[in-house]
Amino acid sequence: MTTENEVVVHAHRDDVGARMGMWLFLLSEFLLFGGLFLMYSIYRFNHQHDFHIAAEGMNIFLGTANTLILLTSSLTMALAITAMQKGNKILSLVLQIVTFLFGLAFLVNKFFEWRAEFREGNYPGSPLLTAKPSGQILYYGLYYTMVGLHGVHVIVGMTIIAFMIRFTIKGIINKDDYVKLENAGLYWHLVDIIWIFLFPLFYLIT
């Protein structure tokens, strides 16, 4: 017969395993973007003038707005987890929805920013871009690759948060079982941290 203490120990082990699995996954993500950041640094060192010229065309206003959006969304996600730990399901649910909406706002801003770049002809393979010096072509190639990959992570994060909202509504996530929400929060913080590095590299360092 399974005792109550054995059930608690088993649940605790599952929680520890889930947390460790998420941290290992986050480590792989840091390695991925770390390689891209290293590549960016090497190319920037070899093409400093071209990177300076290309960076002057970035929309600093939208970049700053998206930075504030993601920073605020990390706060709301952390507060959602805290609310759930305290048993305040409604507040946690509201904060999760707000976090999701912040992610949507980020993507909307990025859409308008990229639409402007495409209209100006600054997109991979365009006649205007291919006519520019190789350093500027590299800059935009890295920009679309790294920021685009980050955008994919934002979409994945929003999808995860959507599941967390559903789980919260159904009671699967509750005061006594909120590891899934914690892991979702860790992933969302990863999305925020990556952008904190991308923003100065492409928008501020000229």
Predicted confidence (pLDDT) per residue in 30-51, tens digit: 888 999 999 999 999 999 999 9
Closest CA to 184 of 70, 32, 17, 18: 18
Residue 137, domain CATH: 1.20.120.80
Average the pLDDT over each of 26-30, 155-159, 179-183 and give the range with the smallest value: 26-30
For the chain, percent of residues with pLDDT exceeding 70: 91
Mean pLDDT of the chain: 89
User: Which residue, among 25, 19, 44, has the nearest Cα to 146 in the 3D structure?
Assistant: 44
Share of the chain above pLDDT 90, in %: 71
CA pair distance 102, 163, nearest whole angstrom: 16
Whether the Cβ atoms of residue 188 and residue 147 lie closer than 8 Å to each other: no
Domain that holds residue 99: 33-204
Mean pLDDT, residues 16-26: 75
Instruction: Give the pLDDT score at 11.
Output: 44
Whether pLDDT at 86 is above 90? yes
Residue 8 lies in a domain: no
Q: Is the pLDDT of residue 115 over 80?
A: yes
H-helix or E-strand spanning residue 181: helix 179-199
| Residue 62, domain member (yes or no) | yes
Band of residue 14 on the pLDDT scale cut at 50, 70, 90: low
Q: State phi, psi for 205 to the nearest 5 degrees.
A: -85, 100
In this structure, is residue 16 part of a structural domain?
no
Between 19 and 106, name the one with better pLDDT. 106
The yes-or-no verdict on residue 186 having pLDDT over 70 is yes
Q: Which of 11-15, 24-28, 96-100 has the lowest mean pLDDT?
A: 11-15
Instruction: Judge contact between 185 and 161, C-beta under 8 A.
Output: no
Tell me if 190 is assigned to some domain: yes
Q: In total, how many domains does the chain have?
A: 1
Rg (CA), the chain: 21
| Residue 9 located in a structural domain | no
The answer to whether residue 18 scores a pLDDT higher than 90 is: no
pLDDT at 30: 83
